[in-house]
Homo-oligomer: A and B are copies of this chain.
Amino acid sequence: MKKTALIMAGGHGERFWPRSRRDLPKQFLSLTDDGKTLIQLTVERIRPMVEDGDIYISTNRDYIDLVRRQLPDIPLENILTEPVGRNTAPCIGMGAAFISRRSGDALMMVLPSDHLIKYDQMFVSTLQDACDIAEKGDNLVTIGIAPDFPETGYGYIRFDPSVTELRGYKVLNFTEKPSLEIAKEYVSSNEYLWNSGMFVWRTDTILGRFERIMPDVHEGLMIIRDAVGTSAEKDIIEKQFPAFPSISIDYGIMEKSDNIYTIPGTFGWDDVGSWLAMERIRKTNEFGNITEGNVITVNTRDSIIIGDKKLIACVGVKDLVIVDTEDATLICNRDATNEIKKVIENLKVCNRDEYL
């Protein structure tokens, strides 16, 4: 069965400010040594399985140019524009409608564009396993991540180790972000996986779920499907899409579905959730520092210092995250990266849009 992929690239997180901006969100940043952006790496990673012509990118109007520039090999008609943000369910539904129209019933991998994966071959092989389960019939497959530690910032997937389908386990339910205590129980139980937001299914399977669970959305999706490739495509999307409810695929479809299987991924997944991820991505030096760009350190330890053109000189400091850009410099304690959003709130309140 034909394999296709939908890469979701409409997000606009604020955690990588000041590098990430409204007009340059995280997925379009290069955070690794090789200079490639997260979305470029995402595409490269699935190329062994999926032809460029079968890779779809869903994004919003503001990022179309970035997608074209960073992914020149993806056909323009595969870049799907969400007229407004409606979370992942409508995004995935529209992707399924496009793929279904172009390729009929096909395997569809749904992938975030702003994560990193260390072991590409393992990843491909896990996706292949997921395809095998999905291809068999009416199954939804979600890629879980074997948890390293009791992370309280992720949702968890509970599975039944005794019910398998090929290399997958039957999913019992999805859970919200847990407390630390509960997260610890989850991890030690060996029956929970992190919810990575990666899915595999057949287009006819997922559209069938929409029909059953979100019939109004399904109706809109069918109208869009009929318009794909016609002169009315753009107008129809602009009419139908904004009417969809803003809801995640997890809440909208997965939690109300059966026949869900999960495969524990052990391919070095990283959601690159904050600047601290740099310590997992890059090599720290003998002083525990990561430095990039025009940086001088004196008695500086355990810091992440991302310079740009301007000279950044650090003297006697510890545990800092310093990020310099053309027009803004962040100096943040390593334990305070979740407060970077307060800077952005301040900038919004003061209408200082040039920094957003």
Contact = CB atoms under 8 A, between A and B. Distances in A.
Interface of A: 18, 296, 298-299, 310-318, 320, 322, 324, 327-333, 335-337, 339-340, 342-343, 346-347, 352, 355
Given A336-B299, A339-B299, A315 B331 contact: yes
* Oligomer: number of copies: 2
Given A328-B310, A329-B324, A315 B296 contact: no
Given A315-B336, A355-B311, A296 B329 contact: no
Given A296-B346, A329-B329, A331-B322, A339 B315 contact: yes
A298 B339 contact: yes
A311 B328 contact: yes
A336 B316 contact: yes
A313 B328 contact: yes
B343 A329 contact: no
B296 A310 contact: no
User: Which 8 A-B residue pairings sit nearest by Cβ, starting from the closest?
Assistant: A316-B336, A316-B333, A311-B328, A315-B332, A313-B343, A298-B342, A314-B331, A315-B336
A322 B314 CA distance: 9
Contacts of A337: 315
